[in-house]
A and B are shown apart, each in its own frame.
Chain A
Amino acid sequence: MKVWLIALNTFHGLVRRRALLALILLFLFVFSGAFATLFLTARLQRAGSPEQARLLLAGEMEGLMVFYAVLTQILAAILAAVVVPEEIKSGTAIPTLGRALSRSQFLLGQFLGMNLLLLGFLALGTVAFIAVLAGYGVALGSHLLFGLLYSFLRALCIAALAFLFSSRVTAVVALFAAVFLLQLPESAGLISLFSIEWGERLGRTSEYLLPAWSLLPFQSYLRLSQAPASKGLEFYLVGIAHAVNYALICLLLSVWAFRRRSLLPPA
């Protein structure tokens, strides 16, 4: 109950953030760019090339959906890195934790509230995409649902990771640490261009730190032009289980890290 109270309050506080509004405006700006494609599609349809029109629309919408999913993940990292340090920096954590509320309840409430916002952000985008696609008569495959689920799970894992760092250090340091860790697999590929040995070492390290990270392939499922190769139930279950595992472990570690953190704003 108290966790839910904190979550709702966090959600209401975050919704009023100007930075979030700026991010939504950015998306709307990019989305408005897609109107040019929609206009072109309509012209192609009238000109008697429905297949070309469909392909053009599918390509554009795929790009937009992946962009939106990445934006959600960036938002997840920023929100998770900021939410607790901001409470400490502004001093609002003090009167709240002066109540009959444990630190773990406070932390879980913050995480839940932040994820409510992420879920809302993703739901808003999903409704917008479905409306546009339905308007153009594009059939929605069931794999898109997996794409959305994977997008959310990936955002959840990223948020949990950034949240873990932010429960101990400042928002900027937490964000940098999370980005550094998430970029390790890509960095391994880059380094192997110069040194195969060091690339492999880094690859092994990243596989150790972020095991089965590739089991959440949201990009492969946010497709309209072609359906992804079907996989067994086991593949999906293992991917989802890994994501839940990531989130839970990071949350438990953050509760542990936060239990003796000073709540005074940094001098």
Chain B
Amino acid sequence: MPPLLRFDDVSKTYRAWRGWRRQPVPALDRLSLEVERGEIFGFLGPNGAGKTTALHLLMGFIFADGGRGYAFDLPFGDSRAHRHIGFLPENLAFYRHLTPVRLLRFFGRLNDVSPADLNRRVPDLLDRLKLTEAAHRRIGGFSRGMLQRVGLAQVLIHDPDLLVLDEPTSGLDPLGRRLVRQLLLELKERGKTVFLSSHLLSEIELVCDRVGVMDRGRLLRTGSVSALLEGSTRVELTVRGAAPAWLERMRGQGAEVSARAHLHQVVLDRPQLRPAVEQLWLEGGELLSVIPARSTVEDFFIEAVAEAGPPGEKVQ
């Protein structure tokens, strides 16, 4: 089965004023990437890495200087492919005179959703995204968080197969972020493909199957999140009621032990985990949680960017 999304050597250069001249500023340098059906792909990178440029090229808002890209086997920007794509921009701007209900109906009709389906989907989406109370208020007076919810609703109105999300949790409170996470996992269960860019590594780690790191327009690395998690060498234990002797033994084995309120956090190597937990239980302690000691995606990201060299240098 062909990939759902494909970038083949795609390059893009902007022209920006520097003094009196317009000089080329490379934004994307020969990006090649494939996203398979049903996977959640996370795009990571520092500011100005070219993530949003890649998403805009995919949607046909701008055009590549070189290379080609395909979504659903159609060239980027083809409106036939847009029927199956839901796009959430980073900088949200909707018609201020419309209410969420009218906006969703308007976008739904542009995507050929039948009136019967719209009658069912609009209230359902408003309810899921906690927008029911504001359903008939004009968007012009909405806060950033509410706009983000409207943005997510408009992405889902035509039940797309591919979701392209640029910073989907930006501007949301912790509850809103959890809602987005749940939504993404639910979509994944339904076999939808998600291509998202985010700065929030912890969220990428929680929802993505695969990640790609970009810097200065180049894709530095791609990797599977599950493989990264399996490769993690240290784990962090949170324990309660641990005997002082057990804590001392852990320190003796090279673990980092820290106390917080009535709890202890112990960071140790993965092979030490099983015997340590067994001893803890035998000595009457309680294990509360076990998580990877550091975000493995964060390690992956930092290593990739560090390998590329400091800003100002050309990426190797």
Binding site for B on A (CB under 8 A): 2, 5-6, 9, 12-13, 16, 90-92, 94-102, 260, 262-264, 267
Contact = CB atoms under 8 A, between A and B. Distances in A.
B62 A264 contact: yes
Question: On chain B, which size bracket covers the interface?
Answer: 20 to 34
Contacts of B63: 260, 262
Given A95-B89, A263-B62, A101 B110 contact: yes
B109 interface: yes
B20 interface: no
Contacts of B111: 99-100
**4 interchain residue pairs of minimum CB distance:** A91-B93, A99-B110, A98-B87, A100-B83
Interface in B75-108: 79-80, 82-83, 85, 87, 89, 91-95, 97-98, 106-107
A91 B110 contact: no
B261 interface: no
A92 B94 contact: yes
Interface string B66-79: 00000000000001
Interface string B106-135: 110111100000000000000000000000
B54 to A, nearest CB: 13
B59 interface: yes
Contacts of A264: 56, 61-62
Given A91-B89, A101-B82, A9 B106 contact: yes
A59 B59 CA distance: 57
A95 B97 contact: no
B27 to A, nearest CB: 11
21 contacts: A2-B109, A2-B110, A9-B98, A91-B89, A94-B59, A94-B61, A95-B89, A95-B93, A95-B154, A97-B59, A97-B60, A98-B61, A98-B85, A99-B82, A99-B110, A99-B111, A100-B79, A101-B79, A260-B63, A262-B63, A263-B56
Contact of A13 (B92, B97, B110, B151): B97
Nearest to B16: A267
A9 B95 contact: yes
A150 to B, nearest CB: 33
Contact of A99 (B56, B61, B94, B107): B107
Contacts of A102: 79
A16 B97 contact: yes
A7 B23 CA distance: 38
Contacts of B59: 94, 97-98
